[in-house]
Amino acid sequence: QSVLTQPPSVSGAPGQRVTISCTGSNSNIGADYDVHWYQQLPGTAPKLLIYGYSNRPSGVPDRFSGSKSGTSASLAITGLQAEDEADYYCQSYDSLRGRVFGGGTKLTVL
Amino acid sequence: EVQLLESGGGLVQPGGSLRLSCAASGFTFSSYGMSWVRQAPGKGLEWVSTISGRDDSTWYADSVKGRFTISRDNSKNTLYLQMSSLRAEDTAVYYCAKDGGSGSYYNWYLHIWGRGTPVTVSS
CB contact, 8 Å: B54 with chain A? no
| B59 contact residues in A (CB cutoff 8 A) | 98-99
Q: Using one digit for the tens of pLDDT, what is the confidence trace for B7-41?
A: 999 999 999 999 999 999 999 999 999 999 999 99
3-state secondary structure of B98: strand
Q: Does A104 sit within 8 Å of B44, measured CB to CB?
A: yes
A10 and chain B: CB distance < 8 Å anywhere? Answer: no
**pLDDT confidence of residue B123:** 96
From A103's Cα to the closest Cα of chain B, the distance in A is 6
Q: What confidence score (pLDDT) does residue B103 get?
A: 84
Residue A87: what pLDDT?
98
Cα angle B76, B9, B98 (rounded to 5 degrees) comes to 45
Q: Could you tell me if A53 lies within 8 Å of chain B, comparing CB atoms?
A: no
A75 burial via Cβ count (<10 Å: 0-12, 13-18, 19+): buried
b/e map of B41-52 (b: 16 or more CB within 10 Å)?
A: eeebbbbbbbbb
Q: Which residues of B touch A106 (CB under 8 A)?
A: none
For residue A8, give the chain B residue with the closest CA.
B44
Write out chain A residues lying below 8 Å of B112, CB-based. 48
- Residue ranges, chain B, pLDDT below 50: none
Task: Search chain A and give the residue with CA nearest B98.
Answer: A48
The answer to whether the Cβ–Cβ distance between A101 and B44 falls below 8 Å is yes
Tens digit of pLDDT per residue, chain A (110 long)?
Answer: 889 999 999 999 999 999 999 999 999 999 999 999 999 999 999 999 999 989 999 999 999 999 999 999 999 999 999 999 999 999 999 999 999 999 999 999 99
CB contact under 8 A, B107 and A45: no
Is the distance from CB of B103 to CB of B55 less than 8 angstroms? no
Instruction: Check CB contact of B27 with chain A, cutoff 8 Å.
Output: no
**DSSP letter string over A45-98?**
--EEEEBTTTBPPTT--TTEEEEEETTEEEEEE-S--GGG-EEEEEEEEETTTE
pLDDT of residue A53: 86
